[in-house]
Amino acid sequence: MRAPGPSILSARFFKEKRPEGDDLVVRGRFIVFEGIDGSGVTTQAHRLKEYVGKKLGLPVHLTKEPTDGPVGGLIRTILAKRVGVPTRDGRLESVDPRCLALLFAADRIDHLEVDILPKLQNGVTIICDRYYLSSFAYQSLSVDLKWIREINSKCIHPDLTIMLRVPPLVAEKRRLQDRWHVELYEETPKLEHVSANYLSIIKELQREGHRVEIIDGNRPPNEVHKDVVRLVRSLFTTTGNKKARARGSPQLGIDFASEGGGSADA
């Protein structure tokens, strides 16, 4: 599979000039959490926000997909099986998977334009609970992966994607503790296929140069968080800055010696 070409959004984002007198503002980092439903993605995203904001003292914004925007709201009602296509016998069937994939892509573009890109440009670190890798893993169950990648090809790439790997049966037990209903894609047999999709697509993305890391999420949250912090800190170190400048991507340097030891507990 060929890597998508430079995106229009990312080209505009990185080339856009900053207002005069704002030359020292450095682009924020873009971090994404991924994993099957029940893997702990939302928990770890919230914990990382606390760490970046309180321990590192950096501006940080936590967001999610689907969003709370107009398209995201429609997607959520579809996933909750509250919206569908009426049949002749009066039942509701889920919308065509291709339509749902297009809705996710539209929500993502709106998310970037309205929320993510403006904040990154102003030096805010973005932590996102799911992004395009979720579309690749979930929607490729019934839609051609190449086409899904094409309709998402105008999206910028995260600086770091963290996939929390959890056995589907463990994830199911976690979900049952918090919910009384099963959403679209949440049946365990489907999630077994989604989990396999994640792993194969991640290998492909890694070969293309994307930074995607896999963490064992089948452990206590504190242990998982410590591994997350170890990965994220590399985005802000001086060494990481030098490597980023060599790639043409500005980064923010942090002296962790003065950051209080960088404890992993948020």
In this model, does residue 261 exceed pLDDT 60?
A: no
Query: For the domain that residue 179 is a member of, what is the CATH number?
Result: 3.40.50.300
Number of structural domains, the chain? Answer: 1
Residue 98: inside a domain: no
Residue 150: inside a domain: yes
Handedness of CA 245, 251, 255, 256 (dihedral sign): negative
| Phi and psi, residue 31, nearest 5° | -120, 135
The Cα 109–Cα 88 span in angstroms is: 35
The two structure tokens encoding residue 257:
């010696």
Residue 128: inside a domain: yes
Residue 161: inside a domain: yes
Task: Give per-residue pLDDT as tens, 21-70.
Answer: 444 568 899 999 999 999 999 999 999 999 999 999 999 999 999 999 99
Task: Give per-residue pLDDT as tens, 118-174.
Answer: 999 999 999 999 999 999 999 999 999 999 999 999 999 999 999 999 999 898 887
64 beta partners = 129
3-state secondary structure of 32: strand
Residue 265: inside a domain: no
Please choose, from the candidates 129, 137, 132, 130, the residue with its C-alpha nearest in 3D space to the C-alpha of residue 199: 137
Question: How confident is residue 9, by pLDDT bands cut at 50, 70 and 90?
Answer: low
Residue 144: inside a domain: yes
Residue 205: inside a domain: yes
Residue 136: inside a domain: yes
Q: CB-side exposure of 106: number of CA atoms within 13 Å?
A: 13
The two structure tokens encoding residue 57:
């003292």
- 178: containing domain: 26-64+124-255
45's enclosing H/E stretch is: helix 41-50
